[in-house]
A and B are shown apart, each in its own frame.
Chain A
Amino acid sequence: MIKPTLRNYKRPVYITDYPTGPNCESGHLVDKNSGWRTFRPTINLDLCKGCLRCYLLCPDGVIFKSNSKVDVDYDFCKGCGICAHECKFKAITMTKEDKE
């Protein structure tokens, strides 16, 4: 499966460490987006019918097919709640993230 992935990346320290032109390849990610999330989607697989509507409508593409149903990549989910709002079977619930 093709998808941008997290890479090991050495942060520049001095101005001379920065490249003078484009130097990253396509799909070069160094940060997760999970810190944005205040509400967390949880999928109830008993209620899920595998219609894939949440997978289709996720703006971040973090819902992926898994065993004929779906699962969430929590590293990149921003917790917008479109999946829960659009689920016709109410199989996704949004719960407040616990503060650490």
Chain B
Amino acid sequence: MKSENRIRLNAQNISDNEYFFGHKACAGCAGSLAVRLALKVLGERTFTALPAGCMSAVGFIYPQMAFAINAMISTFPGTASLLSGMKAGLKKLGKEDVNIVGFAGDGGTADIGIQALSGAIDRRDRVIYICYDNEAYMNTGIQKSGLTPFGTKTTTTPAGKNIRGCLTHKKNMFEIVAAHDIEYAATASVGYPEDFMNKVQKAAEASTTSYIHVLAPCPTGWGTPTETAVEIAKDAVDCGLWFLAEYEEGEFKLNRVPKEFSSVKNYLFQQSRFKHLTEDDIIEIERFRDKKWDRMKSKWLNEK
């Protein structure tokens, strides 16, 4: 990795080019922001594949094509296998100095596409896989996915008298990917955009597969005002329900360890999908958070 001479990316020095523009995503969509920023980092010589999901639904509305680069829609389970195929095709055409990137949602990654992703990492294909995690199947009308957090109200996990929303916690996708001994994996949040962009840049420098999991709030599915997506994505990290970490050369690294978590209740009650939660539910969410952080801190922090 060329880490020594890497320039930290920020708003001042990223490319002016817009590779994802004029799309039909809902106003205030953080998923489209994640795609836009990632493509700004990766540049013109990038090929991208997107499965059935929000970003393909909003980017390819005939006769519109909101991507300024080569982009195509994959099958729902086949994002990563299509990336492998694109890699092989481009190699045959003699195009090696390109980036190949896939953008799949949380359902397309943690549920439907996990087998193809596992296969691509196993083959060590030089592709970048970015999961924009909006914590449910938003495009089809907010159904629970494997990455929907505990207590979330979705159309398939309604909040009623007996059951208050989603019964399971988020699947640990980052560590599942890292367990493949992948070259580079990271978690990010659109609330920390510079951190995300620099992780994309790092992923592009990997010589085999890399994976980035970016939290991208969905105003439509989360029940939040359109202007708050970035703030809420930052809040999620600050209250400890999401984390910024990297897996590189076999080692985990926590990029941000909050000295004190901000209020979980405040984070949850900004969103209508959590409005029904009781004090006990919030205690359960905090307990789960603390358990996860204790484990991450004891295993991933190298006190030197």
Is the pair A76, B16 in contact by a Cβ cutoff of 8 Å?
Answer: no
Q: What residues on B are CB-neighbors of A23 within 8 Å?
A: 63
CA distance in complex: A94, B28 (Å): 14
For B, the interface residue count at a CB cutoff of 8 angstroms equals: 43
Contact residues, A24-70 vs B (CB, 8 A): 24-31, 33, 36-37, 51-53, 55-62, 64-65
A2: nearest chain-B partner, CB-CB: B17
B301 at the interface (CB under 8 A from A): no
Interface of A is mostly: loop
Is the pair B63, A24 in contact by a Cβ cutoff of 8 Å?
Answer: yes
Is the pair B231, A24 in contact by a Cβ cutoff of 8 Å?
Answer: no
Known: A24-B63, A61-B21. A2 touches B68 (CB 8 A): yes
A58: nearest chain-B partner, CB-CB: B33
Interface string of B243-265 (1 = CB under 8 A from A): 00000000000000000000000
Q: What residues on A are CB-neighbors of B36 within 8 Å?
A: 59-61
B240 at the interface (CB under 8 A from A): no
Q: What residues on A are CB-neighbors of B229 within 8 Å?
A: 59, 80, 82
Interface string of A1-31 (1 = CB under 8 A from B): 1111010010000000000000111111111
Partner of A81, one of B19, B24, B193, B227: B227
Is the pair B65, A59 in contact by a Cβ cutoff of 8 Å?
Answer: no
B167 at the interface (CB under 8 A from A): no
Is the pair A80, B28 in contact by a Cβ cutoff of 8 Å?
Answer: yes
Interface of B is mostly: loop
Q: What residues on A are CB-neighbors of B18 within 8 Å?
A: 1-4, 61
Minimum CB–CB distance from B193 to chain A (whole Å) comes to 6
B12 at the interface (CB under 8 A from A): yes
A86: nearest chain-B partner, CB-CB: B230
B76 at the interface (CB under 8 A from A): no
Is the pair B65, A80 in contact by a Cβ cutoff of 8 Å?
Answer: no
Is the pair B227, A3 in contact by a Cβ cutoff of 8 Å?
Answer: no
Minimum CB–CB distance from A38 to chain B (whole Å) comes to 9
Is the pair B27, A80 in contact by a Cβ cutoff of 8 Å?
Answer: yes
Partner of A82, one of B10, B70, B226: B226
Minimum CB–CB distance from B4 to chain A (whole Å) comes to 26
Partner of A26, one of B28, B63, B70: B70
A84 at the interface (CB under 8 A from B): yes
Contact residues, B2-33 vs A (CB, 8 A): 10-12, 14, 16-25, 27-30, 32-33
Minimum CB–CB distance from A88 to chain B (whole Å) comes to 12
CA distance in complex: A65, B11 (Å): 10
Q: What residues on A are CB-neighbors of B139 within 8 Å?
A: none
Known: A51-B11, A81-B226, A81-B227. A26 touches B68 (CB 8 A): yes
CA distance in complex: A22, B37 (Å): 26
B190: nearest chain-A partner, CB-CB: A57
B52 at the interface (CB under 8 A from A): no
B71 at the interface (CB under 8 A from A): yes
- A-B pairs with beta carbons under 8 Å apart, 10 shown: A1-B17, A26-B71, A27-B66, A27-B68, A31-B64, A55-B11, A58-B33, A59-B32, A59-B33, A79-B27
New A-B pairs, 4, CB < 8 Å, besides A80-B28, A82-B228 = A3-B19, A29-B21, A86-B231, A94-B227
